[in-house]
Amino acid sequence: MILHSFKNDYSEGAHPRIYEALQRTNLQQTEGYGEDFICAEAAALLRDAVKSPDAAVVFLSGGTQANLVLIAHALRAYEGVIAPESGHINGHECGAVEATGHKILTLPSGDGKITAPQITELLREYNSPHVVAPRLVYISQATETGTVYTRDELKTLYNFCRTNGLYLYIDGARLGNALAAERGLTLADIANFSDAFTVGGTKNGFLFGEALIIPNAELAQNIKYSQKQHGAMLAKGRVIGAQFEAMFRDSLYFELAAYANEMGLLLRDGLAARGVKFAYDSPTNLQFPIFSNADVEKLSKSYGFNIMGNHGASGSVVRLVTSWATTEEDVRGFLESYTSL
């Protein structure tokens, strides 16, 4: 019997305050397509939170959708995207970016992050019409391996991008976790050091929903056309707006992310104390312990998790994910199970 699943941070429904928010305005009539007062309020809260009073805010239903809408919007037909090989758009979105016509140029990355020198080298090769024109750099914050760009890393990357005529776009599916993990990095920094980014809801207690925020005014122009064209404009836009309103009315969004991280670190520290090594050094709610295959088999009888790959001849890299809905008991149970293997 599975006691708890550490597979994802989207295994449950939503935080109770999400339902409260939706029901509070349920029978009030509004305009459709995100032109309602609820979305307006949520957008205002977000603009305030990112200290970017003129940023465009678009509410979308999921991460792949947000990525493809922004990228298709940003690029001319012959332009391409630079991304780490491990980037979500490259390996987990069924070619969504390519389906909009754009090539992804990948950079190798040990920890899921990429750097200006890597891009410099790539730009040297990509400088003629025989190859696409790189125009946008895609990164994830936190990355797919749970790591986090520091404020300095982000600032350096953004300044490099500006100098080189590249947009910097940050996939923030786990932005809350990144901010909670990285002291000295704020939501306003994210807005200052990027042309566009998402504030992920799905993985942080929402029913669903991401906010695409575009501080770059020129890039933001006509974004609603791109949203509509990709089937990403809900008739009842308010359904996402209300959720963001609930989360950003006070600090709930950050509290849930901090809690998820706390559970992740509890897992990490507990396992480390038991001698477990990790594939990545993650300060967030994604942890990648290396277990022997024998242990993996035993643990999988009581816990759900994903296996990321082999480690040596007889080990595996495992992914454990915690969330707002993970209890301390869930974590302690797992640690005890490991101890008693």
Binding to a copy of itself (CB under 8 A) within 56-115 occurs at 61-69, 72-73, 75-78, 80, 91-96, 98-104
Shortest CB 124 distance to a copy of itself, Å: 12
In contact, 55 and 47? CB cutoff 8 Å: yes
Q: Is residue 257 a contact partner of residue 204, using CB atoms and an 8 Å limit?
A: yes
Size of the site for a copy of itself (CB under 8 A): 77
3-state secondary structure 146-213: CCCCCHHHHHHHHHHHHHCCCEEEEECCCHHHHHHHCCCCCHHHHHHCCCEEEEECHHHCCCCCEEEE
257 touches a copy of itself (CB under 8 A): no
Q: Which is nearer to a copy of itself, 112 or 205 (CB)?
A: 205
Neighbour tally for 162: CB within 10 Å? 14
Q: Among 37, 121, 127, 131, indicate the residue that binds a copy of itself (CB under 8 A).
A: 131
Q: Is the peptide bond before 178 cis (omega within 30 degrees of 0)?
A: no
Alpha helices in the chain, H assignment, sequence order? 16-24, 37-49, 63-74, 88-91, 96-99, 116-125, 151-163, 175-181, 187-192, 217-220, 223-229, 238-248, 252-273, 293-299, 328-339
Segment interacting with a copy of itself (CB under 8 A) among 2-10, 44-52, 137-145, 253-261: 2-10
Binds a copy of itself (CB under 8 A): choice among 233, 265, 267, 317:
233
Helix (H) or strand (E) holding 78, with range, is none
* Interface with a copy of itself, residue 51, by CB under 8 A: no
- Phi and psi angles of residue 264, each rounded to the nearest 5 degrees, phi first: -60, -40
Residue closer to a copy of itself (CB basis): 8 or 164:
8
Among 108, 130, 184, 340, binds a copy of itself (CB under 8 A): 130
Task: Give the shortest CB-285-to-a copy of itself separation in angstroms.
Answer: 15
User: How, if at all, do strands 196-200 and 167-171 pair?
Assistant: parallel
By CB under 8 A, the residues from 290 to 309 that bind a copy of itself are 304
* From candidates 17, 19, 150, 155, binder to a copy of itself by CB under 8 A: 19
Kindly tell me which of 166 and 234 has the beta carbon lying closer to a copy of itself.
Answer: 234
Interior angle at CA 295, CA 2 and CA 303, nearest 5: 15
Alpha-carbon distance 186 to 52, whole Å? 12
Q: Which of 127, 159, 222, 302 binds a copy of itself (CB under 8 A)?
A: 222
Segment near a copy of itself (CB under 8 A); pick from 41-49, 159-167, 176-184, 202-210: 202-210
User: With respect to a copy of itself, which residue has the nearer C-beta, 168 or 240?
Assistant: 240
Nearer CB in complex with a copy of itself: 32/110? 32
Distance of closest approach, residue 227 Cβ to a copy of itself, in angstroms: 7
